[in-house]
Structure 1
């Protein structure tokens, strides 16, 4: 069995995910695990080894990234590498090409945004304007991010999310993961961090890579529970105050202030992941946690869903004490976000185009969310519990009677319906309305109901 090849020592300083990764990798390289062998699920392996699912996921993700194993949707993880009689590159390329040709009539994944929101030609105009200024392209970008963009972000984040900061405390990077790596390098390794078990999975991978001890706090309908945080006694907490997995309620200000007070008293740093905080459309956006606590909160913002997924620009706002530490090391770092796109985004913000874009996005997503919810209620009725949080751009369906397993999700896939997520333990599927066309929502939900019911 696979477990015979996995050797872990919880007293060893090497992160557990790394120990699992090395054990499986060695077994593949020595031929003990053959190509096509199915690996145990993340849930099964975490239970059998008595480690967190995040730990196993981190190992599997690294093995996938290096090509040792592959993740087949609704099927599981399989050994991909073979160190003798390896298939030719042409065979591999052909297989990959065939795999990428799959077309879904109803795409409820979250891989895209509604193309009716942004005027692509207008965005191209700003990019082209930068490209025509040769002097901007013949030098490296600023490590911390272009000053023109950081100034624009300071005004933008203050106006839309009440972020209270100076441009000097803002760091720009190509995605949240990149910024978290920088933050972890400032905080040091081997910290204990508390987060919700539905948090951004890529962030957990970053924390694992820095040797962080990840713990999960309990949530009620208002978000993180103080008594759970006290039990964990972490060095850091990661919050997404706009989203609670089993509730459509945004964390109220009373809970935010309780957490801030508790964190200060216990010398705990808050990381606020304000994912899509601007995209609240049925009510006004609530001020971010950082607005109430500038000295002890790190704020994270991103443009992947607000603007374009292909524009990999995120930003991080540091408290002054961490900004001072960052200034000591920034000369040793490189900027990962495109200088061209940074300057184009700055101009886009400064000319008021992003404000116009947000107003349009809120209007479109409001209508799409109404259509999504009414369609689900029309066809599924009371057979599911519906949880919807507007900033997430997706709806969770918890099935009361029907068991949703791999066989059902395969039927859904065969029906040309792509779902965002499937959770067997929660008996739940997740559907995003961010990219699917309005005219396809009801017919897609109807077909989903018929596929699951039969």
Structure 2
């Protein structure tokens, strides 16, 4: 009756089903403005339900203004409700089914199978059971103070980096730090300087705001900072300990030059230290922050060391920026969830982090060796690996090959997920002879089989 079909096994009440059905017909014009609805008794009889159910549905329509009801008169549809129906419900899904990916060389993905989930679960459980009631209140944009203290100690142990816990601000990953910093640091008509190639996250954040950009070319030693000597900038973004994606370490001369420029031109440097814990030859590289904490904003994350879904990162801020940061963060999302922060505090405090990173360094070093050996066996002496022995990815140069726009789609069709370095460049004609392969999450057989499949595809396309 009246186009209403009731489903008794639905989780939606019968009254709400009637309301939703009538509302839809009113909005689409099936029931016209000024049209009289049947009496509650009549509609209840037609639907085989109780009159109280129909009365409840009519009350919903009346409350939200879809009908007008006067005592002793039938309910009438309100004027001006007819809406032109959209195409969302009628269009067919034209997306083609994507081929299955068998070898996924995505970057930045740790091996989650080796994370100590049992220990982490116990820490989260303890945090839940011991959490004081006042910790359930708003705590503000700074973050959980005990976690800030443990991060300070972790930075000293892992990077010989002296940081005051008061200067550490917890974030929802590194991306949120970039999101906040871009607005905090922007100076009208002054561009942000990025490495070329560089991480798409920071570039996207800047482009979305229509802020100007300029680029520093990257060689095997990282960013060439001489390109920005005469420029007035909003800020400079660099990955000095493990350039993304080419992997170089910014040498001391370039670091000193960059810091001098920042002081002379009065801007800040954003240092993204996204995975320098994993270095397979020697100790982790000392952060740029250690050379001048007053000019460098250090951004770190636990996505690569623990797991991406944790969504806990941090920024070490100069005092002059902290008030502005608090304001921006307070009106973005206020704070991170407290349970994960408490669990991470214990994870750091009992040195579980230290042991986990030490273990994973050995694991990833072996995977890297497997990838490079497989690549050299497949492509011979022509192949060259870029970057220091660190991180969860490697850039491979094949100087006799140019990877065009069709290469990535062709890889996907053949079950291979991979990136070209040119995808991360401001100019798609840069570094066209290089591929980027992440390996942290893959086992040795997947790496070897993936390289073999890549070799077959490249041979077929030449």
Bucket of the pairwise TM-score, normalised by the shorter protein: 0.7 to 0.9
Give the 3 Å change call, closer, same or farther, for CA 109–330 of structure 1 in structure 2.
closer
Tell me the CA shift for residue 415 of structure 1.
2.6
Q: Aligned partners of 1:408 and 1:212: how far apart in 2?
A: 31
Q: Aligned partners of 2:244 and 2:179: how far apart in 1?
A: 26
1:43-442 counterparts in 2 under 5 A?
86=87, 88=89, 92=93, 99=98, 103-110=100-107, 112-133=109-130, 135=132, 138-190=136-188, 191-244=190-243, 248-326=247-325, 332=331, 334-421=333-420, 423=422, 425=429, 426-442=432-448
- Per the alignment, in what secondary structure is the counterpart of residue 309 of structure 2? coil
1:446 to 437, 440, 452: 452
- Per the alignment, in what secondary structure is the counterpart of residue 254 of structure 1? helix
Give the 3 Å change call, closer, same or farther, for CA 233–331 of structure 1 in structure 2.
closer
Q: Aligned partners of 1:276 and 1:245: how far apart in 2?
A: 10
**Contact 2:259-2:292 within 8 A present in 1 as well:** yes
Give the 3 Å change call, closer, same or farther, for CA 122–398 of structure 1 in structure 2.
same
Tell me the CA shift for residue 117 of structure 1.
3.3
Tell me the CA shift for residue 213 of structure 1.
1.6
Give the 3 Å change call, closer, same or farther, for CA 429–247 of structure 1 in structure 2.
closer
Give the 3 Å change call, closer, same or farther, for CA 89–108 of structure 1 in structure 2.
farther
**Contact 1:282-1:366 within 8 A present in 2 as well:** no
TM-score, normalisation: structure 1 = 0.73
Q: Aligned partners of 1:294 and 1:330: how far apart in 2?
A: 22
Q: Aligned partners of 2:217 and 2:322: how far apart in 1?
A: 31
Give the 3 Å change call, closer, same or farther, for CA 371–179 of structure 1 in structure 2.
same
Q: Aligned partners of 2:309 and 2:254: how far apart in 1?
A: 35
**Contact 1:383-1:400 within 8 A present in 2 as well:** yes
Q: Aligned partners of 1:415 and 1:333: how far apart in 2?
A: 42
Tell me the CA shift for residue 270 of structure 1.
1.1
Tell me the CA shift for residue 324 of structure 1.
4.6
- Per the alignment, in what secondary structure is the counterpart of residue 201 of structure 2? helix
**Contact 1:189-1:210 within 8 A present in 2 as well:** no
**Contact 2:242-2:273 within 8 A present in 1 as well:** no
Q: Aligned partners of 2:338 and 2:144: how far apart in 1?
A: 7
Give unpaired runs (5+ residues) of structure 2: 1-83, 423-427
Tell me the CA shift for residue 361 of structure 1.
1.4
RMSD across aligned positions (CA): 2.8
Give unpaired runs (5+ residues) of structure 1: 1-82
Q: Aligned partners of 2:363 and 2:389: how far apart in 1?
A: 12
Aligned length: 368
TM-score, normalisation: structure 2 = 0.72
Deviations 1:369-406 (A, max 9, x none): 11111110111113434324444421223333334334
- Per the alignment, in what secondary structure is the counterpart of residue 260 of structure 2? helix
Deviations 1:305-353 (A, max 9, x none): 1110111111000112222544566655533432211111111111111
- Per the alignment, in what secondary structure is the counterpart of residue 196 of structure 1? strand
**Contact 1:152-1:350 within 8 A present in 2 as well:** yes
Give the 3 Å change call, closer, same or farther, for CA 142–152 of structure 1 in structure 2.
farther
**Contact 1:145-1:335 within 8 A present in 2 as well:** no
Q: Which has the larger radius of gyration?
A: 2
- Per the alignment, in what secondary structure is the counterpart of residue 385 of structure 2? strand
My pick for the range that moved more, 294-303 or 154-163, is 154-163
Q: Aligned partners of 2:292 and 2:364: how far apart in 1?
A: 30
